[in-house]
Each structure stands twice: as structure tokens, then as C-alpha cells.
Amino acid sequence: MSQDAAYLAQLQDYYARHRVFPPYSGIGELLGLRSKSSVAALVARLRLEGYLEATPDRRLKPGPRFFERTLAESVRAGFPQAADDSARESLTIDEFLIEHPSRTVLVRVKGDSMVDAGIHPGDIAVVERTHMARPGDLVVAIVDEEFTLKRLARDREGFLLLPANPAYPPIRPKGSLELFGVVVGIIRKYGNNGTGK
Amino acid sequence: MSQDAAYLAQLQDYYARHRVFPPYSGIGELLGLRSKSSVAALVARLRLEGYLEATPDRRLKPGPRFFERTLAESVRAGFPQAADDSARESLTIDEFLIEHPSRTVLVRVKGDSMVDAGIHPGDIAVVERTHMARPGDLVVAIVDEEFTLKRLARDREGFLLLPANPAYPPIRPKGSLELFGVVVGIIRKYGNNGTGK
DNA sequence: GCGAGTATAGAACGATCGTTCGATGTGTGC
DNA sequence: GCACACATCGAACGATCGTTCTATACTCGC
């Protein structure tokens, strides 16, 4: 039933708030279902679609699709996500940003040396560890035992690191350039309550 | 006991894997405690320290400190997450950015009117639908049947929308301002293979 | 070596879990 | 209007939950 979508949304909200699922009876209360068997039927449906899973202890856990979001292009009129089922352009932000989880690290950005590239202090860089990068890539390098996020460039003298802020000079590594990884994404969270920026 | 730290780590790993807690008996198995009362004692200790909490149904849920991130700060030497076991990435990016899943929409940013705020075309805005916003917030408003991302401001004449790019003029809504939501986060993906930018 | 304090084991308890069944209600198509 | 499908209800079931209690091992300081 299409009602299921609304039920799922409530479950997702509950999970976002508590990071845990309520028991069937609790789900019933939450959703306005007075019988646990109704909940069981709902759960079975959501399970088939991959939103929920069960632990060996018969408890509920989020399924692969539980965290999916639909990406809305800025449409002309009407609201985003208008097409409920047409374009299934939905996936998890993690899946979207992180291709190789085991090699990926999150690093908080310090300093404003990359503001012109749209990277502000406090942002979180999604860094994939590697020793290969091409000129033009945003990289995290190790300079003077410090991590630094810069754009990799190359001239006739060799590699160098370019800030994206005229107030900072380019860095030309003495000796070899020690690369930590390449930046594959950026995350920024705006504090609703004055947390972040 | 100092053993607790190791127990907590195992619990965090389990939670990261399943996004849910096992029952007491399962915790016992996981940790090598043969008695549920041992688990109960451990849980009580971890609860006092704020790592765990209990739902009204007497189930476990993560406490405020459970997700304390060792989000690799730019350290002096060595690598981030150097300590193999100290680095727990137990919170997903989705959970980090999205507080109210049912009210949250992803919208791709078009145009460069917000570049000075570090928001580039192609970035994805995490938008929480609401009709309330405060001056200073980044908002998605509906102007001329188009979505537009601007900073909300207010002067003696009323609300207006400020771009973050000198090439664009401020927008003063005729009549009332139609708000779609507030921007709670930004995601950017750098295409390794020429996907994005 | 011995007592104090703590961590664990083990068993018993009522409460609550998720499952299952048949009955009731609601909607759609013929 | 009637039959069919489906969602929900309400009650019963055994299984498992978390709590609690007492008894046993361990670790110190002296």
C-alpha cells in the first residue's frame, strides 16, 4: 500500500532520533496501528523491499535501502521528489561519496587556504588514501609533519602544491612530495543551533 | 574497570556493523561474558558514563557519547586514525547530516550565485523542509516558480534573499516570501574520472 | 596468608517480545 | 450488489527479554 511510504518515513524519523528501533508494540503506537500483527505485516512488506532486516535475535535493523535519499534536480515548478517512483536516483550519501570504504578517511579542514575552491575551515574532507594523484587533483599532503590540503600542480621544476587563496604562497616540497590521499568529496554541516558555522 | 574500554569498542563495532544492539545475552556472547548479570553490570557502568542509554522498553540505545568521533583532526605527526582501535567511524555521513529523514531532501545546486559562501554549481544541498527560518540561514525559497538558494536576511522593509556573489543582486520578494526549506548541509563530490567537476 | 572489595557466574522471576491464527473492516472490479 | 483481495484487529502461544538474587573467583594491601 502507498501508506507504507508514510509509515517508513515515521520509522526513519524515529530511528534518526533514537538510533534504535522500538519493539513491534512500540511501532504500533508510533504509527497508529493497534495490533502487533498489523505491524508484522508492514515489517514483512518493508523487508521485501530492502528497507528493513532482522537480526538473528529477531529484532529489527535497518536494511540496505533504509538510508536512501532521493536526489531532486531543481525542477521548474512543483516540488522536488515529485516523481515518487519514476526516477530511482536514490542512494545513500555514504555510497555516493565513498567508493572504497577501507581506504577512505574523513579529515576536518583547518585554515582558510582553500576558500576560493569552496572549501572552508570546519568542512570535512572525504579523503581516499592513495599515492597516485594527477595535477589538478585536490590532495592531502604531508608537509613538515603536518597535513595540508592543496591542489596538486606540476611545472618544469616538478610538483608543487597550490592554495586557493591569494593570501597564501604555493608550496614547493623539498625533496619528494609525500602524498596522503586525494580529496574525493566535501561535507559541510550548518549548525541550526549555533553549533558549527 | 579499564576492561570496559575494550568492551565498549566491541559494542561500537557491532553497532557500526548492524546499526542495532544485540540483547544482553548476545552482548555476553560477543564480549565473552557468560552471564547476563555481568552484562547488566557492564551496561550500568557504561550508562553512568553516558555511552549507553535505555529506551522506555528497557532496550539499549546509544548514549550521547557513544558516537564521539575520532574524526581525524590534523595531527602533528603520524597518520590520522593511527591507533587501529581508537578510530571508530561508527556514524554514517547520512546520520551525521540528516536529522529528520522524512523532511529532508537533496537538491542539486545550479548557478554560481552562492560561490562566495563556498557553494558551487553541482554541489548537493541537504535541505530540511520547513517554513521557519531565521535571518542568516541559508534557505531554499520559491521565487517565480523556481527554486533558489540564498541567504535569508531582513531589513526594515522585510525579508530579502542575498546571493553570495557580487554579480547578482539581492532579491526582494514581492508579496510574501515562499520558503521551501533551510539548508542544513552541503555535499560535494569530486569526479575522479571526469564525472563532476 | 588473609580479609575487603570487585567482577563474574548461575539460576529464578515476571514482563514483554515476535509469531500466528481466525475474524472484522474497507476498498476495487466485475 | 457481490465477490475478492488486502489491511487491520484482537487474542493466544512459546520464546526470550532484562532484572534480581546469591554464590564463587579474582585482585589487591597489609
The answer on A181 and A122 residing in a single domain is yes
Q: Which of B68, B91, B114 is where one domain is finished?
A: B91
CA–CA distance, B144 with A113 (Å, rounded to integer): 37
CB A97 within 8 A of CB B106: no
Q: Estimate the crossing angle of helix B24-31 against helix B3-18, to 10 degrees.
A: 120
Rounded mean pLDDT, A72-92: 50
Residue B37 lies in a domain: yes
Q: Which helix (H) or strand (E) holds B14?
A: helix B3-18
Mean of pLDDT values over B81-92: 48
What are the tens digits of pLDDT across the range B143-173?
A: 877 788 999 998 888 888 999 999 999 988 8
Q: Which domain holds residue A48?
A: 3-68
In order of A78, A89, A163, B17, B106, the CA distances from A72 in angstroms are 11, 8, 33, 29, 6
Does residue B15 form part of some domain?
Answer: yes
CATH of the domain at B167: 2.10.109.10
A61 shares a domain with A121: no
Domain count of the fold of chain B = 2
The three three-digit cell numbers of residue B140, written as one number: 531554499
* Domain shared by A64 and A7, yes or no: yes
- Please check whether residues B76 and B146 belong to one and the same domain: no
Q: Is residue B195 part of a domain?
A: no
- The answer to whether B60 and A61 have CB atoms below 8 angstroms apart is no
A91, part of any domain: no
Q: Which residue among B64, B91, B118 closes a domain?
A: B91
Summarised one tens digit per residue, pLDDT across range A98-156 is 888 888 888 888 889 999 999 999 898 999 888 888 899 999 988 877 788 999 998 88
Nucleotide nearest A41, from its CA to each C1': D7
Residue A190 in grid coordinates: 550548518
Residue B78 sits in a domain of what CATH number? 1.10.10.10
Confidence of residue B89 (pLDDT cuts 50, 70, 90): low
Residue A93 in any domain: the answer is: no
Report the candidate in B18, B9, B2 with the shortest Cα–Cα distance to residue B83: B9
Q: Which residue of B has its CA nearest to A10?
A: B102
Higher pLDDT, A106 or B119: B119
Who touches strand C, with Cβ under 7 Å? A 23-26, 35-37, 39-40, 43, 54, 58-60; B 1, 3, 28, 33-38, 41-42, 57-58
